[in-house]
Amino acid sequence: AMSMSWGSTGSGYPVFANALTAARTTARNGKGIPLFASSGNGYQSDFTQLPASYPSVMAVGASAQNNTRAGFSNYGPKLFAAAPGTSLYTTDRTGAVGYGPEAYKGFSGTSASCPAMAAVAAMVLVKNPELTEAQVRDILKNSCRKIGGYTYDANGKSAELGFGIIDAN
């Protein structure tokens, strides 16, 4: 699985978009690779952040500790699903090159959610490496928890959390 925790705006880069489509459809001897990107932290309901808004990529939003959409997380029809993204800790470089003097740093953002989603996809592929990208995508969307008190449509999708919050179980 590929995790892209960065973003930009604009018209995009056709060569990069084509490379992502090729990875999704032809990598792993034609089985494809699940591609994930952070939806962004701009509280936008119809985000255009790239690469999350490319059709070949699953956009990942952030959920809060109370199992709702994190207030900063982009959401809307392009969102695939959400993963925990608030009050998380990570290692940090110490000194002038880091964010502070501590070895660990608390942070929030869809840049935390995206690798969590990709990790769950990777666990699915470790369990069964013969699965295609489309099969992994279906497993993920069908195993997401439909919570937060949001309305989920007939396809199992809400504007706030996409198919829901990822569940590694």
Say if residue 37 is exposed, middle or buried (CB neighbours under 10 Å; 0-12, 13-18, 19+): buried
Alpha-carbon gap, residue 24 to 141, rounded angstroms: 17
Q: What is the pTM of this model?
A: 0.93
Decide: helix, strand or coil at residue 45.
coil
Question: Would you state the pLDDT for residue 95?
Answer: 79
Decide: helix, strand or coil at residue 71.
coil
Question: Would you state the pLDDT for residue 53?
Answer: 93
Alpha-carbon gap, residue 83 to 144, rounded angstroms: 9
In tens digits, what is the pLDDT along the chain, a chain of 169 residues?
Answer: 999 998 888 777 899 999 999 999 999 999 999 999 999 999 999 999 999 999 999 999 999 999 999 999 999 999 999 999 999 988 888 878 888 788 888 889 999 999 999 999 999 999 999 999 999 999 999 999 999 899 999 999 999 999 999 999 9
Question: Would you state the pLDDT for residue 101?
Answer: 80
Q: How does 151-169 read in b/e, with b if 16+ C-beta sit within 10 Å?
A: ebeeeebbbbbbbbbbeee
**Do 43 and 20 contact (CB within 8 A), yes or no?**
no
Within 10 angstroms of residue 82's Cβ, the number of other Cβ atoms is 35
Question: Would you state the pLDDT for residue 12?
Answer: 78
Q: Report, in angstroms and rounded to the nearest whole number, the Rg of the chain calculated over CA atoms.
A: 16
Question: Would you state the pLDDT for residue 152?
Answer: 97
